[in-house]
Structure 1
Amino acid sequence: MTELNGTVSTSFEPVRDAVEDQLRRGAEVGLSLVVDVDGQQVVNLWGGHRDAARTRLWHRDTITNVWSVTKTVTGLAALLLVDAGELDVHAPVARYWPEFAANGKRHIEVRHLLSHTSGVSGLDHPARLEDLYDVRAAAARMASQAPWWEPGSASGYHVLNYGHLIGELVYRLTGLSLRDFTHRHIVRPLGADFQIGLCEADLERVADVIVPAPGFDPSALDHDTVAYKTFTGPSFSAGAANTPAWRAADLGAANAHGNALSVAEILAPIARGGDSARGRLLKPDTIGLIFDEQSRGTDLVNGLHLRWGIGYALPDRRTLPWIPDGRIAFWGGWGGSMAIMDLDRRVTISYVMNNMGADILGSERAAAYVNAVYRALGAGAPS
């Protein structure tokens, strides 16, 4: 039996049981899971292995690529600027980034970037993954493009460029890269072990992502669709996350490294009305913006039926029936990692793992853990 470490409050023992079951069945390789209830960590678990061969243990300080959970922190960076009165979500992007007005984009608002409805969900061809590593140059290319669909009319998931778009706004307003801004104003003040752009000194404690087979092949998509343009603008594979170039880049959409504890430390203030153990992070009115629904329907890129607020997805039982209704903001990372902020219950759930599942969003493992958490809360399982 693979050892599972950490602490669990008595009423949350069924959550530990759910994790142990996934480890025992081999579905889980290495993971961390945290549940914060109004500032108290009622679950803080980690265990398993860092590698597919199961030869290197997953330790308390093990970190891994969290994929699009990165976007939850990038969205928070934007909200900090809103909170400070420096950024207006209803203002045109071009107010802060004049070049973005090119090719019919002058009326696109900041909220459209934050809700994946801007019409700019990737790079026009030709595009290579390496193009995204030069963040400012890639953002300039996005600013020069025409939108791929009518902005604001539907969501089209900004798979790899979400951080470029929000990051450029951060840069224009503060002079800091997204990586530096999040470190200075989020990670360091909250004492979280989280990095957009991995420091070389931390490589030795990273768990490689374990890539599902077969991989996603965008060539099978209709070449005239927004989905094809996005997934080939540029094309990429999950294995890229294990390369030095990916790890070192400033990709605010997908390459942050952390664990469940650091994700919870960063996001729990949202569930707690803006409060953190180290002081107020956001005003309640700013948090309220998250729940201003921007789109509802089938996403043009990932094909999921989604509800987007400002910066975060909102509950949609058609896609994830195990997330209940209410004032909940969430998003997940490719392969199954999840971050859920439940404001009604002042609860944050964060789950990070290395063995990627085949689902676009969430996984059977994530569902099992979240259901166990809600049962322990006395709320009943969502599904």
Structure 2
Amino acid sequence: MITVEGTSTDRFEPVRAALEAHLESGEELGASIAVDVDGVMEVDLWGGYADEARTVPWEQDTVVNLWSTTKTLSSLAVLLLVDRGALDLHRPVAHYWPEFAARGKQDIEVRHVLAHTSGLSGWQQPFTMDDLYDGPTASARLAAQAPWWEPGSASGYHVQTQGQLVGELVRRVTGRTLTEFVDTEIAGPARADVQIGAREADWPRIAESVAPSPLSGMPAGLDPEGIFTRTLLGSPARDEHVDTSRWRRAELGAVNGHGNARGLARALSAVSRSGRVNGHQLLSADTVDKIFDVQADGVDLFLGVPVRWGMGFALADARTMPHLPTGRVCFWVGRGGSIVVMDLDRRVTFSYAMNRLGDGILGSERTLGYLRQVYDVLGSTD
């Protein structure tokens, strides 16, 4: 029998039971779940294995590649700089990054990057992993590229480009890399075990990422000029790149964050708790409120499902996340199912990180099941 380690309050016992059941069935390989309620970690659970061979246990300090849940850290970094007056959501990106004005991008604003409406959802081909790993090259290519649709008119998920765009903005206004900024301004104050990329000293505690069977080539019948196709081809990172030294050393602010549920919950509880975390007022309540300024609301040009985008996060929407309540709730997910949910009305932060990737556009069946269990508890008691 696989034992789930960690702590949970009595009311969240169904969450522990669900994690244990998934580990026993083999649907989960290794995973962690956390629920922070107004600064109190009511759920801090982990269990299973850190490797596919099931020889290394998932420990309290095990971390894993977070894929797109990384974007929640990058978006929080931008909000911190907005709060400090270093960035303005409604100013053109080119105000901070002059080269970006090329090819008709002079009016693209910072908010368009955060809401995936800039028209730069992928890199123009040819663009390789070598180019992606070379930060200056990746930024220069985006600066020289024309948008693929009218900026601000619709969202098209910036699968891998958003991290580069945000990282360049952070570098331009602070002189620091996004990796450094997240480490010193978010992870440090929050005492959160999260990072962009992964320090070599932490490599021994990184869980192996186990992906579903890869697709054999591109699906048939796709429009080669369509946003979906161009974005997919223009986003070169794939499952096989994860858990390599080049991946871990890179700064890919959209996809290569590393952490666990506890670390994510601690860092992002700053949003749920109106800017306050670990005794620090990380950002103001007014800046947190900006997240809920709707920037796009419709079928995303890449994801193909309705997404209501605020500033840096998706907003609760019954069309795509039926287990989330209405109100001031925002979230984002990563490939395979990792997630962070920030519920400002209940001052609750829920997070889940795992190493066996599931299927699904916005979370896996496991993700949605844990989310349902959490809100069954919150809905019956709050």
Q: Considering the TM-score relative to the shorter chain, is it more than 0.5? A: yes
Residues 301-320 of structure 1: pairs in structure 2 closer than 5 A? 301-320=302-321
Amino acid at match of 2:327: G
Residue in structure 2 matched with residue 18 of structure 1 by the alignment = 18
Look up the SS of the partner of 2:171 in the other structure: helix
Residue in structure 1 matched with residue 160 of structure 2 by the alignment = 160
1:69-114: CA deviation from partner (whole Å, max 9, x where unpaired): 1000000000000000111101111111111111011111100000
Residue in structure 2 matched with residue 92 of structure 1 by the alignment = 92
What is the distance in 2 between the residues matched to 1:144 and 1:349? 39
* Structure 1 position 31 matched with structure 2 position 31: yes
Residue in structure 1 matched with residue 331 of structure 2 by the alignment = 330
Distance apart, 1:375 and its partner CA: 1.5
Distance apart, 1:338 and its partner CA: 0.5
Look up the SS of the partner of 1:377 in the other structure: helix
Residue in structure 2 matched with residue 45 of structure 1 by the alignment = 45
Amino acid at match of 1:20: E
What is the distance in 2 between the residues matched to 1:355 and 1:124? 31
What is the distance in 2 between the residues matched to 1:11 and 1:219? 45
Distance apart, 1:278 and its partner CA: 2.8
Look up the SS of the partner of 1:71 in the other structure: helix
What is the distance in 1 between the residues matched to 2:87 and 2:235? 29
What is the distance in 2 between the residues matched to 1:150 and 1:316? 25
CA RMSD of aligned residues (A): 1.4
Distance apart, 1:217 and its partner CA: 4.0
| Structure 1 residues 227 and 216: alpha-carbon distance in aligned structure 2, compared to 1, 3 A threshold | farther
Contact 2:196 2:251 in 1 (8 A): yes
Residues 1-383 of structure 1: pairs in structure 2 closer than 5 A? 1-215=1-215, 217-218=217-218, 220=220, 221-379=222-380
Task: Work out the number of aligned pairs and report it.
Answer: 381
Look up the SS of the partner of 1:33 in the other structure: strand
What is the distance in 2 between the residues matched to 1:33 and 1:236? 26
What is the distance in 2 between the residues matched to 1:158 and 1:234? 9
Amino acid at match of 2:355: N
Contact 2:359 2:365 in 1 (8 A): no
Distance apart, 1:216 and its partner CA: 7.1
What is the distance in 2 between the residues matched to 1:216 and 1:339? 30
Distance apart, 1:302 and its partner CA: 1.8
Amino acid at match of 2:250: A
Contact 2:189 2:278 in 1 (8 A): no
What is the distance in 1 between the residues matched to 2:348 and 2:193? 20
Distance apart, 1:379 and its partner CA: 4.3
Contact 1:289 1:310 in 2 (8 A): yes
Distance apart, 1:235 and its partner CA: 3.0
TM-score of the aligned structures, taking structure 2 as reference length: 0.97
Look up the SS of the partner of 1:142 in the other structure: helix
What is the distance in 1 between the residues matched to 2:347 and 2:371? 15
What is the distance in 2 between the residues matched to 1:260 and 1:234? 26
Deviates more, 1:228-237 or 1:52-61: 228-237
1:289-331: CA deviation from partner (whole Å, max 9, x where unpaired): 1000000111111212111000000012111211221101100
What is the distance in 2 between the residues matched to 1:380 and 1:67? 33
Look up the SS of the partner of 2:153 in the other structure: coil
What is the distance in 2 between the residues matched to 1:240 and 1:35? 30
Distance apart, 1:12 and its partner CA: 1.0
Deviates more, 1:4-13 or 1:366-375: 366-375
Distance apart, 1:215 and its partner CA: 3.2
Contact 2:38 2:347 in 1 (8 A): yes
What is the distance in 1 between the residues matched to 2:216 and 2:19? 27
Amino acid at match of 2:168: E
Contact 1:30 1:58 in 2 (8 A): yes
1:135-181: CA deviation from partner (whole Å, max 9, x where unpaired): 12211110111000111111111111111101111111010111111
Look up the SS of the partner of 1:268 in the other structure: helix
Contact 1:116 1:157 in 2 (8 A): yes
Contact 1:196 1:252 in 2 (8 A): yes
Look up the SS of the partner of 1:358 in the other structure: coil
Look up the SS of the partner of 2:52 in the other structure: coil
Look up the SS of the partner of 1:306 in the other structure: strand
List gaps (5 residues or longer) in structure 2.
Answer: none
What is the distance in 1 between the residues matched to 2:254 and 2:116? 12
Amino acid at match of 1:265: R
Distance apart, 1:280 and its partner CA: 0.4
Distance apart, 1:344 and its partner CA: 0.4
Distance apart, 1:222 and its partner CA: 2.0
List gaps (5 residues or longer) in structure 1.
Answer: none
Contact 2:161 2:235 in 1 (8 A): no
Distance apart, 1:234 and its partner CA: 3.6
